[in-house]
Structure 1
Amino acid sequence: MAGVELCEPIQLYNILNQARKASRLAERNYLCLIDARTKREYDESHLITAIRMKQDPSDVLPYPVEIVPGKLYMGNYIQACHQQIQKDLHIQAHVNVSEEVDTFFPDDSDQVLHISVPDSPEADMSPFFSDICHFIDSHTSHGAALVFSTLGISRCSTVVIAYLMHSCRLYLKNAWSYLQRCKSNIRPNRGFVQQLSEWEARLYMATITNISEPGY
């Protein structure tokens, strides 16, 4: 249904990159955008990448969603291998929680933290949460970090929620809700959800979020 909505640049950017295969910028009749920022603000933002988008959806790759403006992005393995994406978003470091080897930065580089974990309820990522949070914070003073897994749905969303809980001081339920607004199809597996609940109890000395509620 047609309508008018005011939103921040990060909201618009994430809305346009919700599609799994092709950016919604490739849809000819998707929206009419009126940008109220100054030309300088627009030119310096990553929304300028919209200009480069082609009209053929098969040629358009969605960009990673933005979590913390200019600092943290979340995506999949294909996006992490795409050179233009790294350049446009000023990606300086990767947190790779897939079993694939990073192809953009050398795997032994200090710009890569590779946690090779299968997307399985039996897999345990919780021992790495502290190291991941420290790595992201230490590599984003002059650029951005990209957290990615194979499909960008389960493992990377678990890591990003853990980061938001630690570095942004959010409870699990608030971090989950915030990330879901950035990317609608996040889905950590049940084992990872339990690990996030334990991480919450460790950070706040209490379990705040009821993970048995629908939605978790």
Structure 2
Amino acid sequence: MADLLFCEPTELYNILNQVSKLSRLAEPNYLCLLDVRSKRQYEESHVITALRVKKELDAFQPYPVEILPGRVYLGKVSQACNAKMHKDLKIKAHVNISMETTPYFVGNADKLLHIKLEDTPDSFLFTYFRHICHFIELHLRLHSVILVFSTRGISRSVAAVVALLMHYNEETLKRSWAHVKKCKTNMRPNRALVAQLLEWEKVLHGQYLTDISEPIY
């Protein structure tokens, strides 16, 4: 008999947003959901967005994953250009870590932080970590919703949100990495970015606390 697990709406949202097809009863990973919220709460929840999107024209375009509930999302350029996603998630600011541009917040330095950086071993995101954290934390204080993204949403933007969590929650690289990994299972920051996150850990905590030689990194 399968285990009974409890999860928050955020976790369910991220699970539903990272599957390409619905599970079937005959499959070992069959997912049976028992929602204990009221019908009104369910209808108002953004969890339903992840289900609805599969029935529409952009069925193969999942929504950004949720890093901080209703506050910080992690995604890719194509999602950052999607008007419906902006409306559904109430996105009010962007952190763009890519060479691409988007049609939103152009020329508005208060709502757009654009770091033009390639995803290469010699790209140095470390010098921007503090600026990224301050930009996002300012918008969090203003109760704005922020989307952090890069070209594919698996390397540069992931490093940025890991750095944010390390600063915002005063956590180690290991704990922040685990949180983002749980939200986005296909995250793959390049090795140079992982090393830069370790240096960020030393800045925040005064010493290296995470062993990045472990296979999970």
Give the TM-score of the pair, scaled to structure 1: 0.89
Unmatched segments (≥5 aa) in structure 1: none
* Letter matched to residue 125 of structure 1: L
Match of 2:145 in 1: 144
Q: Is 2:185 the counterpart of 1:203?
A: no
Q: Is 2:217 the counterpart of 1:212?
A: no
- 1:119 shift after superposition: 0.2
Give the TM-score of the pair, scaled to structure 2: 0.89
SS of match in other structure, 1:67:
strand
Match of 1:18 in 2: 18
Structure 1 residues 164-203: aligned runs within 5 Å: 164-203=165-204
* Letter matched to residue 184 of structure 1: T
Match of 2:27 in 1: none
| Range moving further from structure 2, 44-53 or 5-14 | 44-53
Between the aligned partners of 1:3 and 1:62, the Cα distance in structure 2 is 27
**8 Å CA contact 1:72, 1:147 repeated in 2:** yes
Q: Please report the RMSD computed on the Cα atoms of aligned residues, expressed in angstroms.
A: 2.1
Between the aligned partners of 2:111 and 2:52, the Cα distance in structure 1 is 27
Between the aligned partners of 1:73 and 1:13, the Cα distance in structure 2 is 12
Superimposed CA distance per residue, residues 2-36 of structure 1 (whole angstroms, 9 cap, x where no aligned partner): 765432111110001114xx5x4xx3746443321
**8 Å CA contact 2:96, 2:113 repeated in 1:** yes
- 1:138 shift after superposition: 1.1
**8 Å CA contact 1:75, 1:152 repeated in 2:** yes
**8 Å CA contact 2:53, 2:62 repeated in 1:** no
Q: 1:112 to 1:31 in 2, by over 3 A?
A: same
Superimposed CA distance per residue, residues 30-58 of structure 1 (whole angstroms, 9 cap, x where no aligned partner): 64433211233223321132463354786
Match of 1:124 in 2: 124
Superimposed CA distance per residue, residues 93-136 of structure 1 (whole angstroms, 9 cap, x where no aligned partner): 00000110122222444211000110011000011111101111
Match of 1:86 in 2: 86
* Letter matched to residue 43 of structure 2: D
* Letter matched to residue 179 of structure 1: V
* Letter matched to residue 106 of structure 1: V
The size of the alignment, in residue pairs, is 211
SS of match in other structure, 1:133:
helix
SS of match in other structure, 1:139:
helix
* Letter matched to residue 192 of structure 2: G
- 1:139 shift after superposition: 1.4
Superimposed CA distance per residue, residues 77-101 of structure 1 (whole angstroms, 9 cap, x where no aligned partner): 1111001111111111000001101
